[in-house]
Homo-oligomer: A and B are copies of this chain.
Amino acid sequence: MADHALTKETILDTAEQVLRRFGPEKTSVVDVARALNVSHGTIYRHFPSKASLREAVAEKWLHSISLPLEAVFKQECSASERLCLWLKTLIHIKHTLVQEDPELFTMYTTLVEESVDVVNAHIGELISQIIPIIEEGMANQEFKSADASLIASGIFMATARFHHPAHAKEWASPTIDHEFDIVWNLILSGIVK
């Protein structure tokens, strides 16, 4: 009865649109089904539950955050510059998302918070992007040698204030970039040789 072939992807894209329009608390799977001109029972043929559908949307969003960070590896620069750029890029993405549409950011954050496994995978992915940068710096003699994965997760945790959505309210502060620089200097002097 649908206009297009009804794939998981189609449902996912429509769910995302409906969530964007109605928000996370007001979208029902009936709404998504209505947007697709199918019965809501059909959705359950492709997703076992409403939660799994929301989780899939959350995962897609997180992927859109981690993907552009890979471009940082193509930059020709030192390891400390690359590390700084990587962090600033991550932070810039998040801060821009909040600034441009706070409601939308809250919507995605709500979905993400429901999906613990997806978040943990995302965090793991981000940290494993940091590790090679640290290793590069150690190989270079730029950084003191140590356990790169410990350093990487330390850096990720120490910068939580700037990228963890729980701190989004603080990102509106006019001094937030300066505050990042303070923390960055502290971290950098901890790892350089």
Residues of A in contact with B (beta carbons under 8 Å apart):
144, 150-151, 153-155, 157-161, 164, 166-167, 179, 182-183, 185-191
Which DSSP category, helix, strand, loop or mixed, fits chain A's interface? helix
Taken together as a complex, chains A and B put the C-alpha atoms of A150 and B150 apart, in Å, by 25
- Docked-complex contact A187 and B158, CB < 8 angstroms: yes
Taken together as a complex, chains A and B put the C-alpha atoms of A182 and B157 apart, in Å, by 9
Query: Chain B's nearest CB lies how many Å from the CB of A178?
Result: 10
Query: Chain B's nearest CB lies how many Å from the CB of A164?
Result: 8
Closest to A188 in B: B190
Taken together as a complex, chains A and B put the C-alpha atoms of A151 and B161 apart, in Å, by 16
Query: Chain B's nearest CB lies how many Å from the CB of A151?
Result: 7
Closest to A152 in B: B182
Query: Chain B's nearest CB lies how many Å from the CB of A15?
Result: 26
Taken together as a complex, chains A and B put the C-alpha atoms of A158 and B187 apart, in Å, by 9
- Docked-complex contact B186 and A155, CB < 8 angstroms: yes
Between A and B, 5 residue pairs with Cβ closer than 8 Å are A157-B179, A164-B166, A164-B167, A189-B191, A190-B191
Taken together as a complex, chains A and B put the C-alpha atoms of A188 and B189 apart, in Å, by 10
Taken together as a complex, chains A and B put the C-alpha atoms of A175 and B150 apart, in Å, by 13
Candidate in A164, A167, A183 with the most chain B CB atoms within 10 angstroms: A183
Taken together as a complex, chains A and B put the C-alpha atoms of A167 and B154 apart, in Å, by 16
Query: Chain B's nearest CB lies how many Å from the CB of A50?
Result: 23
Taken together as a complex, chains A and B put the C-alpha atoms of A185 and B150 apart, in Å, by 10
Query: Chain B's nearest CB lies how many Å from the CB of A68?
Result: 24
Within 8 Å CB of A161, what residues of B? 157-158, 160, 164
